[in-house]
Structures are given as C-alpha cells and as structure tokens.
Amino acid sequence: MKLLSHIDLPGLKETLSHDAPGVELVIIPSQGPLPSDLDGEILLTYIAHPTNVDQVIAQCPSLRWIHAFGTGVDGFPLHLIGDRLLTVGRGATAVPIAEWIMAMMLAAVKHLPESWHQAATGPWQSADLQTLAGQTLAIAGFGTIGQALAQRAHAFGMTIRALTRTRHESGTAGVIFAAHWNDLVHDADHVVLALPLTNTTRNMVDSAALAAMKPGAHLINIARGPIVDQDALRLALDSGHLALASLDTVTPEPLPQGHWLYDHPQIRLSPHISWSGPGMNKGMVQLFIGNLQRYLKQEALEGRVDLASGY
C-alpha cells in the first residue's frame, strides 16, 4: 500500500515502519509537475500550505483516503474529493489555542500590558483590575477547541455558555447550551469564535450580531477571519459598544501594510499563531498514525470531514 505525502517530517518513515509495516512512504513535491506514473491509496497533505493536491487527486485513480494536517477545510478543494475519505487533525491544537484564549481574557481583565510600570510615574498599590471569576464566557462552536476552553474557564469560576449546530456532551460541568446567537452573547463578557468557516458562518458576526453583544464585551476570534464583518467590527469598537477585540485570524492574511487593524487601540492582533505549542508536528503525526491503523483494520476514522457541511 502506497502512502503519498507532501509532508516529510523527521522520523515519519521510521514511525510508519514501526506502527504500520507494509505501508510504503512516497514523498511527493508540493508544487510543480508530478511523476507521470504516480499513484497511491493514501495522501498525507497540508491544509494551510499551497499544494498540488488537485493534481494528485486527478492523477491517482487508486486514491481512497486523504488526511490533511490542520483543521479548517474552507480553502481545501472539497469539490474534488468525490467518494474518497477526507480526515483532518481535529483536536491536535486544541490545548494551545484554548490557552491562548485564556491568556487574552486574562490580559483584558488584568489590563496587560498597560498596567505595567516602566518609569517612576503613576500610582503604586492602586489599580482597577478585574477577575475572570464570575464573568460569562460565550463560545460559538463547541468542537475540540471549545471544549478544551470550557474546561479551563470552568477552573477560573466563569459562567460558560456555548452555541453549536450539534449539541455535545461537554465533559465540563455547568456548560449552558444556547439556542441562538442573541441568547449566547447578550450578557457575555467574552465572546469566542471557534467555529468553522462555511457558507452559513461567513460574515455571521455582522453589525446586528455585534449589536446583540453586551456593551463593553470582548470579542476573540481564533476561527477564520471572514466570519467577522471587519467594517462592522470597526464601527462597534469606535462607538464604544465593544471594548476590545483579540484577533488571531483576520482577512486577508497577511494583512497589507497600513491596514487599520494594526494600529487600532482596541485591537490585539496576532498573526494566526494561537495553535503553536511544543510538539505540534509530532502530535499531528500521531493522530494520523492512529487513523492509519484504523484504516488498515477497516475501522471508522477519526476527524472525518462532512463534505456537505464543509467541516
């Protein structure tokens, strides 16, 4: 059985030899022409990096399963998948992303970094800091990231409300499931976007959705930039309706020089790095190896993408 791979990580070949003997690894170029005789049953590829995945699908009649490093498939050629299986590394980055969100919420309530002193000016032993305890967290999307966040926010004594298309058992005590957006955000101090980009969610957070949020709320986006109408966000911030927006994803990426998001005083902009953490590549490989072993045993695969819903 041939495994075609755009990904050539150190130790991948050795891991396959140990955990999936009999699977032949064939490293293929991500760009440019492919070998004329290329074919294989499995493809390991990227979501976030440009690849010639469309060429591989067209050229390989034996291809039955595609596994992509990453989670969101909004930029992936889903229309070419056909009856093949498509899986992603769902859950591999949930912990670092959840921690990044916690860091943004803590920075907001503790007024960081603006409360730091760099000179002998201003008051000492006096500040108007807040606490996350007793505040309300609204999570739009309750997959692996939302659930990892809920576990951590619960430990800080937050009230947690979640909105999801398909209700999950959260594994965290006290999570309240909202029926719609207004019910989710009306009294939330922090609103986190952790849902996929689809035709339904594109521009979901528009002027009406922002107006439904509590005055002084904090918006956090670790999902996809196009979920938020950025012009409407600017108006909500400038009017004082929203206090702060912490954005790890924006549109376009990267932003052009001079874009207003770089300089707005109520924006905290991060260059799509909330997923970053130690051993991420190793974790993604282990997720794939687990799925490969299930595939060889003809068992159900984890992280399977529903092509109809787009995630």
Model confidence over 39-56: pLDDT tens digits? 999 999 999 888 999 999
Q: Is the pLDDT of residue 64 over 60?
A: yes
User: Is omega for the bond preceding 254 within 30 degrees of 0, making it cis?
Assistant: yes
- pLDDT at site 228: 98
Helix/strand/coil for 59: helix
CA distance 131 to 116: 17
Q: What is the mean predicted confidence (pLDDT) over 208-234?
A: 98
* pLDDT confidence bin for 9, thresholds 50/70/90: confident
Q: What is the mean predicted confidence (pLDDT) over 178-195?
A: 97
Do 253 and 224 touch, CB atoms closer than 8 A?
no
Rounded to an integer, what is the distance from CA 309 to the centroid of its chain?
Answer: 17
Tokens coding 154: 């619960």
Helix/strand/coil for 129: coil
| β-sheet bridge partners, residue 136 | 159
- pLDDT at site 191: 99
Q: What is the mean predicted confidence (pLDDT) over 101-125?
A: 90
Q: What is the mean predicted confidence (pLDDT) over 159-183?
A: 85
Q: What is the mean predicted confidence (pLDDT) over 218-232?
A: 98
**What's the whole-number average pLDDT of the chain?**
94
Tokens coding 50: 């440009």
Q: Please report the domains of the chain, with CATH numbers, ordered by start residue.
A: 2-92+278-296 (3.40.50.720), 94-115+127-269 (3.40.50.720)
- pLDDT at site 282: 87
CA distance 74 to 206: 19
Q: What is the mean predicted confidence (pLDDT) over 122-148?
A: 94
Burial of 4 (0-12, 13-18, 19+ CB in 10 A): buried
- Please state which of the ranges 71-75, 93-97, 164-168, 219-223 shows the lowest mean pLDDT: 164-168
| Alpha helices, DSSP H, located in 67-225 | 94-109, 144-155, 181-185, 207-211
- pLDDT at site 233: 98
